[in-house]
Amino acid sequence: MIQATWIFAFSLIARLGTEGWSAWIVYVLVGVMQVVIIVTAIVFAIQDRQKARKGMEGSHAPGGGIANERSALLSDESH
């Protein structure tokens, strides 16, 4: 989908030139935002893989276990 946004933006730029910036600037900004989201997702995926390799996955859960939908949101570890 990213390619379609950029291709459409570049075709508008080619047809309208800089004088028609208000027509194509939206598509350029959408394309930039798509790239930012994809790069962010890749960075988080790499971080998750590195944490999994180090055995740190789920260490933020109470008791050091892996949290799931049945885990208590608040735990009283004073007992």
Q: For 3-49, what is each residue's pLDDT tens digit?
A: 788 899 999 999 999 999 999 999 999 999 999 999 999 999 999 99
CA dihedral angle for residue 39, residue 40, residue 44, residue 47, rounded to 10 degrees: 60
* 63 lies in some domain: no
pLDDT, position 35:
92
Considering only residues 24 and 75, tell me which one the structure prediction assigns the higher pLDDT: 24
- Whether 78 shows a pLDDT value over 70: the answer reads no
User: How many structural domains compose the chain?
Assistant: 1
Considering only residues 79 and 35, tell me which one the structure prediction assigns the higher pLDDT: 35
* 37 lies in some domain: yes
Closest CA to 26 of 41, 8, 1, 3: 8
* 77 lies in some domain: no
> Which residue segment(s) compose the domain that 27 sits in?
2-54
